[in-house]
Amino acid sequence: MEMRELKILNLIDSNSLGGPEKYILGYAKGLDDSIKIAVSTFGSDGSDSPFLSQSHALKKINSFVIPCAHSYDPKQITNLIALARRGEYDIINSHGYRADLIGLIASRVLSVPIVATFHGWTGSNSKVRFFDRIDRAVLKRMDHIITVSEANKRRLQQSGIEETKMTVVPNAIDPEEFLGLSRLGRPEMLREELGLSGDEKICICVGRLSFEKGQKVALQAFASTIKEIPECRLVFLGEGPEEGRLRKLGHELGVSNEVYFVGFRPNVIDYLKFSDRILLPSLTEGLPTVVLEAFLCSKLVIATSVGGTPEVVRDRETGILVPPNDPQSLSKAIIESFKDQKEMERIAQNACQVVMAHHTFEKHVVKMERVFRTL
C-alpha cells in the first residue's frame, strides 16, 4: 500500500557539522521517499555553513535559513511560521533548546505536531545551564521526543517526562558515505603535513573545543603519558571557545611542542586513519558519532564512561572505558594500551564488526518512520 506523503521540517540552531547535524542528514537519506525532509537553521544566508552545504548536496533535502538579527530576535518566530506555512509542513522536528522553544511556539500557532530530538544537555557554562533548565520545561510539552541513546532517555525520565512519550533512535553511521569522505590517498600525508617523522604514536581528540568535551583532561593526561612514551603526540581536531585556554594549558604543562591544533576538517576519516588512539574524554555525552566513525576505521577508542558512550564502548570488548574527569586513569589507559598492541587490535577489529552489524542508519530508520507515522 502506498504511504501518505509527509513533509517534515527539521529545525536546528547550528551551522557546524557535528553529531546532531550528521544525525539529521543520515536519517533523512534513509527515510522512505514518501517522507519529504527539509532542514532550517537560524541567522545569515548560510553560505559559510558546512551543514547547509552538505544539505544542498543531497537532492532529497530542501534547506533554508530563518532570517534573524540575533538569538533573541522575535522575528525568527514569525519567519519560521511563514516558512512552515509556505511549505505546508506536517511535522516540525526540533534539535536543541533554541529550536525546541521556537519550534514549540510555531507548532502551536500552526496546529501541527512537533517532535523534539534530544541529543543531550552540555551544561558547559552558566548561560547554557540556564537554557538547559528552560528546555526541560519545553520538552514536557512536546508531542513526542526522540532520544539518541538509552542514557538520554533515562535522563529525561528523571526530569519527569513519561517513558511512553519517548522513542530511542540511536546515533548511527553511513559506512559508504563516511569512507567516501577521504581526501588523501595516503593517511601518512597528514604526518608530513604536521612535520612528523612517522615514528610517533598519535592520540587524537575529535570534536568541538568546549568545556563539556573534556579536552583539558586529555591535555593533563597527555602531560603524564609523554613522560612514559616520549614519542607520543596529541592532536586536537576541531574548533571552539576553549582553544585559547587549552593552548595556554599546554604551555603551562610544558607539552605545547607535542600538541597540535588543526582546527575543523571535513575529512575526519583521514585523521582517524593516521592516528593510533582515539580519545574521548567527555564530561557528558549523548551517543558520540565520532566513536562509531573510529570503530569503522578499526581504531582503538579510549573513552569516559558518561552518557550513552558505554552503550557502544564496552570495556575491553569494543574499546577502553575510564572514569570522567580523571587524567591519571586516562593516562594509565593510554600507556597500557601501547604495551599490548595485539590485544588492542583485536578490540578495534571487534568494534568495526559491531558498528557494521548494529549501528548503521539502515538498521534504525524504521523506528524514526514509525514515530512520524503515528503522530
342 and 197 co-located in one domain: yes
- Predicted local confidence at residue 183, as pLDDT: 66
User: What CATH code is carried by the domain that includes residue 272?
Assistant: 3.40.50.2000
For residue 87, tell me if it sits in a domain.
yes
33 and 138 co-located in one domain: yes
333 and 204 co-located in one domain: yes
Helix (H/G/I), strand (E/B), else coil: 276: coil
| C-alpha cell at position 98 | 533554541
Cα distances (Å, whole numbers) of residue 180 to 79, 137, 175, 300, 365: 37, 41, 8, 21, 21
Range of the domain at 329: 177-358
Q: How far apart are CA 210 and CA 194, in angstroms?
A: 23
For residue 53, tell me if it sits in a domain.
yes
For residue 40, tell me if it sits in a domain.
yes
DSSP sequence for 307-362? TTGGGT--BTTTBEEE-TT-HHHHHHHHHHHHH-HHHHHHHHHHHHHHHHHH-BHH
pLDDT in 10s for each residue of the chain, 375 residues: 568 899 999 999 987 888 899 899 999 988 999 999 999 999 766 556 778 888 877 777 888 899 888 888 899 999 999 999 999 999 999 999 999 999 999 999 999 999 999 998 877 678 888 988 999 999 999 999 999 999 999 999 999 999 999 999 999 998 887 877 676 666 677 778 888 887 899 999 999 999 999 999 999 999 999 999 999 999 999 999 999 999 999 999 999 999 999 998 888 888 998 899 999 999 999 899 999 999 999 999 999 999 999 999 999 999 999 999 999 999 999 999 999 999 999 999 999 999 999 999 988 999 999 999 999
**CA 186 centroid distance within chain:** 26
Alpha helices in 194-326 (DSSP H): 215-228, 243-253, 268-273, 289-296
Q: Is there a contact between 295 and 352 (Cβ–Cβ < 8 Å)?
A: yes
77 and 223 co-located in one domain: no
167 and 228 co-located in one domain: no
Beta strand residue intervals within 81-158, DSSP E: 91-95, 114-118, 144-147
Nearest CA among 134, 137, 156 for reference residue 145:
156
161 and 236 co-located in one domain: no
For residue 1, tell me if it sits in a domain.
no
Which positions ≥6 away from 36 have C-beta within 8 Å?
A: 5, 6, 7, 8, 62
337 and 193 co-located in one domain: yes
For the chain, the domain total comes to: 2
For residue 347, tell me if it sits in a domain.
yes
144 and 211 co-located in one domain: no
| C-alpha cell at position 335 | 600507556
140 and 210 co-located in one domain: no
201 and 288 co-located in one domain: yes
85 and 149 co-located in one domain: yes
Which positions ≥6 away from 278 have C-beta within 8 Å?
A: 203, 204, 206, 272, 290, 291, 294, 299, 300, 301, 302
254 and 236 co-located in one domain: yes
Q: How far apart are CA 276 and CA 74, in angstroms?
A: 48
Q: State the amino acid at position 79 in one-letter form.
A: N
Q: How far apart are CA 273 and CA 77, in angstroms?
A: 43
For residue 340, tell me if it sits in a domain.
yes
Q: State the amino acid at position 160 in one-letter form.
A: G
Q: Is there a contact between 96 and 119 (Cβ–Cβ < 8 Å)?
A: yes
Q: Is there a contact between 42 and 13 (Cβ–Cβ < 8 Å)?
A: yes
Q: To 5 degrees, how large is the angle CA 124–CA 130–CA 133?
A: 105
- Predicted local confidence at residue 254, as pLDDT: 97
Q: State the amino acid at position 42 in one-letter form.
A: F
- Predicted local confidence at residue 82, as pLDDT: 95
For residue 127, tell me if it sits in a domain.
yes
For residue 328, tell me if it sits in a domain.
yes
